[in-house]
Amino acid sequence: MSIKRYSVAVAGATGAVGNEMISILEEREFPVTEIKLLASDRSEGKKLEFGGKDITVTKTDSNSFNGIDIALFSAGADRSKEFASLAVKAGAIVIDNSSAFRMAPEVPLVVPEVNPHAIARHKGIIANPNCSTIQMVVALKPIHDAVRIKRIVVSTYQSVSGTGKEAIEELSQETRDIFNCREVKCQVYPHQIAFNCLPQIDTFEENRYTKEEMKMVNETRKILEDDTIAITATAVRVPVFYGHSESVNIETEKKLTADEARELLSNASGVKVVDNIDALEYPLAVKAASKDEVFVGRIREDESIEKGLNLWIVSDNIRKGAALNAIQIAEILIGV
Ligand code: 25A
Ligand code: L14
């Protein structure tokens, strides 16, 4: 019997995440009959390779999704709000990478290692969480199941690729400008990112947290299906190209020793423990880049409280944080 194949659209195909989606569909041999690569009019006519063929990028419009089975969106929240419901009306299932629908009660917010069961209740749209949230919940879910997490205190060290291609270019351009004693021009970020750390990701909200910080709070509770977890986040942009790192402190209801946590995480799906301090081994963004796993290390007991742990969690934000997670959702949808 031949396997069923699907027509797939990638909206935002020319962006950092869209590009990675195309590679991952190829790498994992997703059963594609036809692929449609969509972007804005800026990219119309551009050619991208898929399965050894050149595919022409077309402009996203209301007819783009006719005949599409699965639409992967990563063109920003405004485009998702404009086109996702049209895609659903045209008969597609939308897996949306933007923040547009994540907190909508009727939209499942899914990390396959954590809450794959939520996919079944979709009504056409499935949301892919924020990159910093995804890697954190993959590592924390097994601990939450074992000893219940009461409180999370997280600080992130996020790479520029999360912002997209222009930000990747801005970090390299600023670095070259500084080495050449030229004036630094900030276009994407409000301040110099080269050789600097910016305690602002996305815009500020009324409570003085940033949107990125509040996404981590609200999305984590939705994915772990537990509104009682206390969470506080500080999200920081660092001059790294690929891979987000996170310092995570948790307080648990029952005691979990560092050894027990290492054991638990060694058997967790999607997680790789890298925690050999004698060999100076711990997760690093440069090593996590282009990999699929969520890397966890520096696992140790928080000696300031009775039942607490510290962890260092690193993953490729464009892969597990975005494109890979979306395609894993698609794989569950089609039952592979
Ligand atoms: O959901 P949010 O919070 O609103 O955030 C969404 C944004 O965050 C990025 C992603 O950027 C997205 O735009 N992102 C990173 N991680 C993410 C994640 N996990 C994530 N988003 C969600 N989940 P990106 O760079 O990866 O992708 C941008 C893509 O969006 C396409 N796009 C823009 N407007 C569109 C559109 N597609 C359809 N219709 C529209 N109206 C965009 O395509 C890209 O594919 P493009 O054609 O606009 O860009 C092609 C080239 O043009 C350059 N460029 C970008 N902006 C400008 C520009 N050139 C000139 N002027 C500009 N203003 C880019 O370098 C690109 O190569
Ligand atoms: O909500 O700039 O998915 O690192 C992902 C990229 C938010 C911003 C999201 C970044 C965006 C984030």
Alpha carbon 221 to its chain centroid, in Å, reads 16
d(CA 230, CA 73): 31
User: For residue 50, is it left (φ>0), alpha (ψ between -120 and 50) or beta?
Assistant: beta
Strand partners, 247: 155, 312
164 close to ligand 1 (CB < 6 Angstrom): yes
Nearest ligand, measured from the Cα of 158:
2
Please identify every residue annotated as catalytic. 131, 244
Say what the pTM is: 0.93
Q: What is the pLDDT along the chain (336 residues), one digit of tens a residue?
A: 567 999 999 999 999 999 999 999 999 999 999 999 999 999 999 999 999 999 999 999 999 999 999 999 999 999 999 999 999 999 999 999 999 999 999 999 999 999 999 999 999 999 999 999 999 999 999 999 999 999 999 999 999 999 999 999 999 999 999 999 999 999 999 999 999 999 999 999 999 999 999 999 999 999 999 999 999 999 999 999 999 999 999 999 999 999 999 999 999 999 999 999 999 999 999 999 999 999 999 999 999 999 999 999 999 999 999 999 999 999 999 997
Residue nearest ligand 1's atom 32 by CA: 75
Q: What is the CA radius of gyration of the chain?
A: 20
Strand partners, 311: 248
- DSSP letters along 110-148, please? --TTT-GGGGGG-SSEEEPPPHHHHHHHHHHHHHHHHH-
Nearest ligand, measured from the Cα of 166:
1
Domains annotated for the chain, with CATH where assigned, are 6-129+322-334 (3.40.50.720), 133-317 (3.30.360.10)
Residue count of the chain: 336
DSSP H or E segment with residue 20: helix 16-27
Q: Tell the burial category of 124 from Cβ atoms under 10 Å away from its Cβ (0-12, 13-18, 19+).
A: middle
For a mutational test of ligand 1's pocket, the pick from 128, 163, 165, 201, i.e. the residue with the most ligand atoms closer than 8 A to its C-beta, is 165
d(CA 84, CA 124): 9
222 close to ligand 2 (CB < 6 Angstrom): no
For a mutational test of ligand 2's pocket, the pick from 74, 131, 134, i.e. the residue with the most ligand atoms closer than 8 A to its C-beta, is 131
Atom of ligand 2 nearest to the CA of 237: 4
